[in-house]
Amino acid sequence: MNQFYRSRILGVVFCSVLATQSALAGPEREWRTFADEQGTRVQYPADVFPIPQTTSRGRTFISDDGRATLAIYSGPNENGETPAQVLRRTLARQRSRLTYDRVAPNFFAISARHNNQILYRRCNFRGHRVHCIDLTYPLSEKRAWDYTVTRISRTLRPL
CATH code of the domain occupying 3-158: 3.40.1000.10
Beta carbons of 127 and 133 less than 8 angstroms apart = no
Q: What is the pLDDT of residues 78-107, one digit of tens each?
A: 999 999 999 999 887 777 889 999 999 999
State what percent of residues in the chain have pLDDT above 70.
83
For the entire predicted model, the pTM comes to 0.81
Query: How far apart (Å, rounded) are the C-alpha atoms in residues 19 and 74?
Result: 33
> 7-16 burial by CB neighbour count: b if 16+ within 10 A, else e?
eeeeeeeeee
Choice between 27 and 45, residue whose per-residue pLDDT is larger: 45
Sequence ranges of the domains in the chain: 3-158
Torsional sign, CA 41, 42, 43, 46: negative
Q: Per-residue confidence at 131, pLDDT binned at 50, 70, 90?
A: very high
Q: What is the pLDDT of residues 13-42, one digit of tens each?
A: 444 444 444 456 555 789 999 999 999 999
